[in-house]
Structure 1
Amino acid sequence: MAIEPRAARRALVETPGPPRPLPDGEVLPPEDYRRLVGVLEAVDRAPDLEAFAEALVRALQTWFGYSTVVVLHGRTLAEALRGGAGVKTGYSEAFLAEYATQWIAADPFLTPRAFALLDERGVVTLRDLLAPEHQAYVDGFLRPHGINDKLGAVIDGGAAGVLYVGAVVRGAATVPVRDVAVLRVLRRHLAPLAAEQLGRPRVREWRLTPREREVAELAVRGLTNPQIGRRLFIGADTVKKHLSRVYAETGTATRTQLAVLFRSMP
């Protein structure tokens, strides 16, 4: 009985056709996909959460032209927005001081409605949130600073927490619809990277506030008190007080001891 030879594995030899055209009604033109990829390439190899946040800020400045960006983190969206731990750029100290002392209670992005819409849509703009009770905030605070519209985006890191991204679009009456569309796609691709970064061991094991954690992490990276203050828009004396609290909680007395402790963390 003759034995049939083993069938050869099939090779793909078809000649490929032209690229598939974008479907009718496609929201994002090809150049916006390049923006999306550009941001992902900028952040995907960040060694830690702080470097990730800084790279994301720079990428949004580069690919979207935003001069004012914040990337905040926390266990929940409310903690991220209200705790302020993260990276901020483009805001003056005077602006932040005025906001903290006069306007924070009126911020539409700190309302339950904003949290609900961010959870539902992923990306929202100031225009999405405006109600009559917010007009004083817009006319008395934002517009004198040249701000007509803002956007916020939440990146869900699952059990590890969330990242909040906020940006101001200066010189435009409204946030471009294309920006919102790109960011809605981008946040889904950033989610697994955010979950990985948020899940890395940090000083969360100690009973520190988000701001104390942030000061500690910057001190370990070698920044001086004035440098930390400029990065976080707080005074050097405030940095010193935060560090004293960090030393007391962690059982250290110097930056060197704190750095050794950080390096010993699993």
Structure 2
Amino acid sequence: MDGVTGALLDPHRRPRPLPDSEPLTAEDHRRLIGVLETVDRAADLLEFRERLVVALQSWFGFIGVAVLHGDTLAEAIREGCGVQGGYTSEFMADYAERWAEMDPLRSEAVPGLLRTRGVIRLSEVPGSEAFRREFLHPNGITDKAAMLVDGGPAGVLCVGMAVADSPSVPERDIALLHALRRHLAPLVADQLARDRERRAATANWQLTPREWEVADLAARGLTNRQIAERLFIGVDTVKKHLSRVLAETACTSRTQLAVRFAAA
């Protein structure tokens, strides 16, 4: 129509082309979005962690993933609660019995490295050669990465990821994990804060963080073996925790425990 110029100042504007130096490709950004879309609607911390395990396996191809959390990074690494996926029960049993205390990712040097870098490779941790050569390599794992996600006052999330198809965690994956941790931070802070509030509401139950997790999974219908595999602890340890949980909550069965937890 004569005299009509349209609503847009520049109707031919196009997206900014990515520079040749752009560290991440369009495919990498899709992987990033895929992980975030997987976890951002999680109902609680337990679901968030389990979704994160699956997302990192699916979008990155990590063969094994462990997600730990705690009030501090040192607590998350040494004593934090968490879930794992991708590892066999035999591998986890051997790790718990003979190798856990020798794991370089649990050494005193790692919190400092993670706070400084955010993401590290196991192969970069001093003294990791023997652990990788004698334990990981015979089990088909060539390297691992660790990622810190800082939730501020609510605590931290620490994620361990294993690879099998390359000598070390690829540089592109490291770059993408750096981007991922920044996007995950507000989600992690929210989930950790909500979980802390939920536990505070039942402060009359004198449960340790690990007992709380065992109780939560039992209330969701998981068997002792399933709980043990999810939390990478022994079945006997699950039984011990569950016995104390039932006594502390004055429940006589898992069904009653499920009702109590649903109301919490």
Tell which deviates more after alignment, 85-94 or 66-75. Answer: 85-94
Identity over aligned pairs, percent = 57
Equivalent runs, 1:140-151 vs 2, <5 Å: 140-151=134-145
Q: Which runs of 5+ in 1 are unaligned?
A: 1-9
CA-to-aligned-CA distance 1:138-182 (integer Å, 9 cap, x gap): 222121112221100011111111111111011210111000101
Superposed, 1:182-193 pairs within 5 Å as 182-193=176-187
CA distance in 2, matches of 1:117, 1:229: 30
Q: Displacement, 1:12?
A: 4.1
Shift of 1:231: 2.7
CA-to-aligned-CA distance 1:11-50 (integer Å, 9 cap, x gap):
5442142210123421111110111011111111110111
Total equivalences in the alignment? 254
| 2:190 aligns with one of 174, 191, 196 | 196
Alpha-carbon distance in 1 for matches of 2:139, 2:80: 21
Whichever of the two has the greater Rg, that structure is: 1
5 Å-filtered alignment, 1:38-187, equals: 38-129=34-125, 131=126, 133-187=127-181
Deviation at 1:65, TM superposition (A): 0.9
Using the size of structure 2 for normalisation, the TM-score is 0.88
CA distance in 2: counterparts of 1:37 and 1:93, whole angstroms: 31
Q: Identify the residue that residue 15 of structure 1 maps to in structure 2.
A: 11
Query: 1:226 Cα shift?
Result: 3.2
How far apart in 2 are the matches of 1:189 and 1:250? 37
Q: Is the 8 A contact 1:28 1:182 kept in 2?
A: yes
> Aligned-pair distance for 1:202?
3.5
| Alignment of 1:230 onto 2:224 | no
Whether the aligned pair in 2 keeps the contact of 1:106 and 1:134 (CA below 8 Å) is no
Q: 1:65 to 1:134 in 2, by over 3 A?
A: closer
What's the C-alpha RMSD, in Å, of the aligned pairs? 2.0
Shift of the alpha carbon at 1:228? Answer: 2.0
- 1:87 aligned counterpart, secondary structure: strand
Question: Which contiguous aligned blocks of 4+ residues in structure 1 show a shift greater than 4 angstroms?
Answer: none
Q: TM-score, normalised by structure 1?
A: 0.88
